[in-house]
Chains A and B, each alone.
Chain A
Amino acid sequence: MKILVGVKRVVDFNVRIQVKADGSGVATEGVKMSMNPFDEIAVEEALRLKEAGKAEEVIAITIGPKASQEQLRTALAMGADRAIHVETDEDVQPLTAARILKAITDKEEPKIVMLGKQAIDDDNNQTAQMLAALANWPQATFASKIDVDGDSANVTREIDAGLETLSIDLPAVISTDLRLNEPRYVKLPDIMKAKRKPIETFTIAELGIEPAAAVKVLKTSAPAARQAGIKVASVDELVAALKEKGLI
């Protein structure tokens, strides 16, 4: 079986982002870009399924500007077999992304589409669920353990109440959470090898997608900052301060 795995280019998780003074967005010029960490976990899990003999081919896909190919190359260096780049300079929101992924899914017919549970830039946490809806497939979001067995899978999900296990028929969409695995480091020879792996490119128009009605961003602002507090020197001082506030 094939696994299609989504990869998004985002501002690196270590970067402290700055809101532009004119409220037009977040400054991304000259900022380090990386693969969304949840997507790295998705790539790793797809590769592990392949290495365990449960999948034959891992295809990485990204939607974004030309530079997103860097993140596809990372996925290929990790071990993905080939990649698909849906190239656009537009801001692609989750519903449109899900429609694009649906079109690629119809073409490639993967048994599993593995996506990070959310991208750490827009924090939407929508695309996997939307793709599952459009395909009328099962979804198992926030996965922390995946056992594939023939035409079905048992997926353990990290939910507020604890760990929930679902049994789902394949094909299905799975979104990955933090503790599913620890992604491998990419070795230099693999980076060289990845340069020879194929990347197929499409435009949104070529896929015949109608972009969805979009949420309009009116302005971007910095969050309300918390007042800086004080350091206390002792437990007694702390207890006195909390008592004064009526907290203990």
Chain B
Amino acid sequence: MAKVLIIAEHDGKKLNGSTARVMTCAQGLSAESVEIAVFAAEGAAVAEQAAAISGVTKVLLIENPANEHATAAILAPQIEALASEYSHVLAPSTTFGKDLTPRIAAHLAVPQISDIMRVESPRIFDRPIYAGNAVITVEAPEGIVVGTVRTASFSEAEKTGSATIEKREINVELPSHTRFVKLETSGSADRPDLQAAAKVVSGGRGVGSTENFKVIYDLADKLGAAVGASRAAVDAGFIPNDHQVGQTGKIIAPELYMSFGISGAIQHLAGIKDAGTIVAINKDPDAPIFEIADFGLVGDLFEIIPELEKALA
């Protein structure tokens, strides 16, 4: 029977919604236990949020000043020390998990399954390749299964649990070769999180400038939506990188995705395929995004957005 360890993603105060999505993936492993490990400087609040996720057997809280920031080189040796008690070690396929888990797998001398999108059995999984243009069914060899979970493929587990929280001390030598300097966020803390939002309004190269992105933000605020962007818009400097949606940005699955001035490169489409309803507004009637949009409207976004706002008012 599988014994699963999930590595919690959090910012020191709040558990990231990705963790509850990994829990849903873990439920497909017919596990006898699913434990969540919270590594933090002071993690009581995060541990409580993790303990509320339904299906969690136990939360391990590993508090250490060195764990203040989620640095792979610091966390990996601690997780490796725990790993032998488990059959599966899972993390979300976010930049947090992607950075961390290969470091663990390499030390455990096992391969990693990246971006698990479906569980067929405790060792057999589906994962996307070629920006999601093909799906491979893979079988992990003997040994601990280390994987990252494609969060857009799983919904968040319910929050009706009350697992016990156990404090753990892990005494391993931690490296001093990697030091956190700073984190610059784009300061949109009052807006919904792009990866968790039910609605996303997204802009591309067609938006034209940083100033013009204000219309995207304003519409998003009216809808209670998060703001996304295509790579072209981020490369052009219209909007910070943490808004990028696509193969190498964020993979999202909102109920409603509204794109403005995004042509729809396959790399971008890879990030929105799991959205409930896709709306595309673009001047170019041949833009590839119309091939996957549920509702397409050909036209100038600067004329359409005011009309939309009026219709929504």
Contact = CB atoms under 8 A, between A and B. Distances in A.
Interface of A: 11, 13, 16-17, 19, 26, 93-95, 98, 117-118, 120-134, 136-142, 144, 154, 157-169, 172, 177-179, 212-223, 226-236, 238-239, 241-242, 245, 247-248
A148 B62 CA distance: 33
Contact of A162 (B98, B184, B235): B184
Nearest to B126: A221
Contact of A165 (B99, B138, B181, B266): B181
B108 to A, nearest CB: 9
B307 A160 contact: no
Contacts of B240: 162-163
A229 B137 contact: no
A26 B135 CA distance: 10
B109 interface: yes
A218 B139 contact: yes
A232 B109 contact: no
Given A215-B113, A223-B133, A223-B135, A229 B295 contact: yes
Interface in B149-184: 175, 177-184
B129 A126 contact: no
B230 interface: no
Interface string B179-198: 11111111000000001000
A134 B107 CA distance: 7
A215 B182 CA distance: 37
Contact of A160 (B178, B242, B277): B242
Nearest to B141: A213
A82 B296 CA distance: 51
A163 B256 contact: no
B256 A223 contact: no
Contacts, number: 254
B95 A158 contact: yes
Contacts of A136: 175
Interface of B: 11, 71-73, 76, 94-96, 98-107, 109-115, 124, 128-143, 175, 177-186, 195, 199, 223, 231, 234-235, 240-242, 247-248, 250, 255-256, 266-267, 273, 276-279, 290-298, 304, 307-308, 311-312
Given A226-B273, A226-B292, A242-B277, A212 B109 contact: yes
Given A154-B181, A229-B294, A229-B296, A238 B135 contact: no
Contacts of B107: 133-134
Which DSSP category, helix, strand, loop or mixed, fits chain B's interface?
A: mixed
B76 A133 contact: yes
B296 A232 contact: yes
A223 B139 contact: no
Nearest to B242: A162
B311 A235 contact: yes
B295 A130 contact: no
Q: Report the 10 A-B pairs with minimum CB-CB distance, sorted nearest first.
A: A129-B102, A133-B106, A130-B106, A229-B294, A162-B185, A126-B102, A213-B141, A165-B181, A159-B95, A235-B307
Nearest to B308: A235
Given A215-B140, A223-B128, A168 B177 contact: yes
Contacts of B138: 215-218
A125 B278 contact: no
A231 B297 contact: yes
B136 A163 contact: no
B230 to A, nearest CB: 12
Nearest to B138: A215
Contact of A218 (B101, B132, B137, B141): B137
Given A17-B134, A160-B94, A213-B143, A239 B311 contact: yes
B290 A220 contact: no
Contacts of A138: 73, 175, 177-178
A129 to B, nearest CB: 4
A241 B296 CA distance: 11
A242 B256 contact: yes
B177 A169 contact: yes
Contacts of A168: 177-179
A179 B241 contact: yes
Contacts of B296: 229-232
Contacts of B293: 229
A161 B185 contact: yes
Nearest to B231: A178
A214 B141 CA distance: 6
B96 A121 contact: no
Given A166-B181, A228-B291, 7 more contacts: A26-B134, A161-B183, A162-B186, A178-B248, A216-B139, A220-B137, A229-B295
A239 B281 CA distance: 13
Contacts of B72: 129, 139, 141
A164 B250 CA distance: 16
B192 to A, nearest CB: 14
14 contacts: A16-B133, A95-B105, A120-B130, A123-B131, A126-B102, A126-B112, A129-B102, A142-B99, A162-B185, A163-B242, A169-B178, A177-B248, A213-B111, A242-B256
A238 B295 contact: yes
Given A19-B134, A179-B241, A215-B139, A164 B111 contact: no
